[in-house]
Structure 1
Amino acid sequence: MEEVTVRGVCPEDLERVTAVEAVCFPAAEAATRESFQERIAAFPEYFFVAEVQRGLIGFINGCVTNSPVIFDEMFHSTSYHIPNGENLTVFGLTVIPEYRKQGVAAQLMQHFIQTAKNTGKRKVILTCKERLVPYYESFGYAYDGISASTHGGAQWFDMTLVLKP
Structure 2
Amino acid sequence: MRRGGPLQRITPLTAKKPMGRGQGLKPGKAAAKPKRARRTGPPTDVMALLAQRSGGWCELGIVCLGNAAAVDPSHRIAKGMGGTRDPRSNTAANNMHACRTCHDLVERSPAESYANGWKIRRGQADPTTVPVRHWVHGWVYLDEAGGWRPALDYSPEVPS
Q: Which is richer in strand?
A: 1
Which is higher, the Rg of structure 1 or of structure 2? 2
Verify same fold: TM over 0.5. no
Q: Which is richer in helix?
A: 1
TM-score by length of 1: 0.33
TM-score by length of 2: 0.34
